[in-house]
Chains A and B, each alone.
Chain A
């Protein structure tokens, strides 16, 4: 019998975090299969070889270092500052995964101390984080949280020795070339410019009034569904743009408009083209799209 290949050694380290990415990761229904290919030297919740105390005492080598949470040089784990601990672990890691928007860009927790808090490579959209010199071995999985299948995809690719194509923020293109808008069940309402009058209905597009950022946010939320069944927009919630460096913006449930059209355009679409198309689409008043989808409501 051929011997099974050695498991990848993984360290999961947390910076300033809510643990959301840890719990998102635990949602992977194929976790058992994943754990056949990796072993955790350290993980904050799962059984692992080393406690945090062991980890900081003698920094081990790893195949993958997963970092969750935002970075502050003075933030401590087991009494050791991140300015010491993170580079030490990073130097000894073959690959690094920036898990979630806090680790990737600074995220929500950056708001409390913008001067000192950042992501590990990027600070918002600028590459000036502590690991910027090693960014070649960093894969960014932004999202608040990141989807467990995005992580297992990256681990599988590393395990298979395949190259991962990345965008300007080192996000895998196969996950982030899509927009959250792609695959949204409300696409037809977007095409014909039928807006949702208010929250809580299946009908209408949330881009025009409810603040949906799906048309200009990179992410495969409507391709690789959340918890395998849904997404924000499928449950009627506007996309809040959580995979982008600018997250969190302000006034998240309102669309800013200019001359009564959304002031931020769908990605790459010139305003003139949009206006021409929107004007035409709106003039048709398509009855089917103005009615309830299923006639079960008063």
Chain B
């Protein structure tokens, strides 16, 4: 039997076409995205610096990642053209801080607005609006805005640095906000200190976890989904480390091995606007789980050894990343040297021709911006988003990462929940 399921309460909407057996168990699942905006075409023909204003508008929840990808693309262009751009450690750190804020707020929204809500609904216990979570994400975004001017849709990063010139006033405010966010994660999300959380991961005793994440795991346990959601076990990180992992073997990842496959799209007779992103011709998973495994972070690696890439590991990786990012933001804030310059002017963009590539670890995985520029003008622009990796739509027999995770799940409703563990974003996928 084939059922079309409209998936809402994601960024935009998606359609899942489920093929089920007599008992309702999922045999195949096609993932389709029906909206397209033509962001690349909008960028082409413009001044290359305009990408810093246009690109963030790819996505309302991860636009800052698109800003940083665009600015890295421009800096790589300068370098390829023989004009390397230098960033002070301060400018570099500020970009890391604001980017991390975007990931933290994304993960909190995913946990409360999507996972706790949808898993509760499936159990007949729909929770009310998660106001406490939205308050804390507004605070995380405020921390970001102390430096970036606003969130969403800042354009504060330019080739050569950042536009802001903060004082200790902003840094002290940021540290105060960060303390509140850390307290929220401990008291509300985890219900315990971060060391205890880590030991629960290492000892595989997450079942005893209180807090809202404990509730989510409990919901998954009641739905008998904790061990579901296993996929290919292939992971890719291109933004910071460049490592690919397949069958637990690690190798250096080459951006040159990334390709886009448009075989399932409307223009080729398919049923979606989304192109698949492939590495070395195969589907890989990106995002928090991939990042934790590639960095061999203890807790998540321990869970992976026991539970593989099942729902419990994938859910936990996104929560663990919040904890890690808060610690990193604290470290960056306390070691900022404000006497360094924010911005070192590069050569005029009108003198620059060539190609550039910028890669960022965005909330959902590796985000790639590529462009060809002639005398400061965008001739070609290409964006590959993280969700093109995770939500790829393969043909029968060669399922994408989330597709494979849904196969074998006992009902459509439960498979749709597994789909959401990947943190679905429709607007990014088709852009």
Q: Which B residues are CB-close (under 8 A) to A226?
A: 145, 149-151
Contact of B60 among A20, A112, A231, A234 (CB under 8 A): A20
Distance between Cα atoms of A53 and B339 in the complex (Å):
56
Closest Cβ neighbor of B162 among chain A residues = A200
Distance between Cα atoms of A200 and B242 in the complex (Å):
31
> Could you give, for residues 133-164 of chain A, a 1 whenever the CB lies within 8 Å of some chain B CB and a 0 otherwise?
00000000000110000000000000000000
User: Is residue B291 contacting chain A, with contact meaning CB distance below 8 A?
Assistant: no
Distance between Cα atoms of A297 and B344 in the complex (Å):
13
Contact of B38 among A35, A51, A112, A254 (CB under 8 A): A112
From B20-28, B124-132, B357-365, B389-397, give the one contacting chain A.
B124-132
Give the interface size class of chain A: 35 or more
Whether the pair B155, A237 counts as a contact (CB closer than 8 A) is yes
Contact of A18 among B41, B155, B427 (CB under 8 A): B427
Distance between Cα atoms of A16 and B131 in the complex (Å):
27
Whether the pair B42, A199 counts as a contact (CB closer than 8 A) is no
Distance between Cα atoms of A77 and B41 in the complex (Å):
23
Give the interface size class of chain B: 35 or more
> Could you give, for residues 124-154 of chain B, a 1 whenever the CB lies within 8 Å of some chain A CB and a 0 otherwise?
0011110100110111011011111111111
Whether the pair B142, A228 counts as a contact (CB closer than 8 A) is yes
If over half of A's interface residues share one DSSP class (helix, strand or loop), that class is named, otherwise mixed; here it is loop
Whether the pair B167, A294 counts as a contact (CB closer than 8 A) is yes
Interface residues of A in 10-50 (CB under 8 A from B): 14, 16-24, 26-29, 31-32, 35, 44-47
Shortest Cβ distance from residue B431 to the other chain A in the assembled complex, whole angstroms? 9
Q: Which A residues are CB-close (under 8 A) to B9?
A: 44-45
User: Is residue A236 contacting chain B, with contact meaning CB distance below 8 A?
Assistant: yes
Contact of A237 among B61, B135, B154, B161 (CB under 8 A): B154
Distance between Cα atoms of A61 and B161 in the complex (Å):
50
User: Is residue B342 contacting chain A, with contact meaning CB distance below 8 A?
Assistant: yes
> A202-B165, A229-B145 in contact; A18/B60 too (CB < 8 A)?
yes
Contact of A250 among B47, B164, B173 (CB under 8 A): B47
Whether the pair A17, B427 counts as a contact (CB closer than 8 A) is yes
Shortest Cβ distance from residue A82 to the other chain B in the assembled complex, whole angstroms? 12
Q: Which B residues are CB-close (under 8 A) to A29?
A: 135, 138-139
Distance between Cα atoms of A253 and B49 in the complex (Å):
7
User: Is residue B246 contacting chain A, with contact meaning CB distance below 8 A?
Assistant: no
Q: Which A residues are CB-close (under 8 A) to B162?
A: 199-200, 236
Shortest Cβ distance from residue B7 to the other chain A in the assembled complex, whole angstroms? 10
Distance between Cα atoms of A267 and B138 in the complex (Å):
34
Q: Which B residues are CB-close (under 8 A) to A235?
A: 145, 147-150, 154, 156, 163-164
Whether the pair A234, B427 counts as a contact (CB closer than 8 A) is no
Q: Which B residues are CB-close (under 8 A) to A264?
A: none
Contacts from B to A (Cβ < 8 Å):
6, 8-9, 11-13, 34-35, 37-39, 41-42, 46-47, 49-50, 52-54, 57-61, 63, 91, 109, 113, 117, 126-129, 131, 134-135, 137-139, 141-142, 144-156, 158, 160-165, 167, 173, 338-339, 341-343, 345, 427
- A-B CB proximity, top 5 nearest: A200-B343, A235-B149, A200-B342, A19-B60, A236-B163
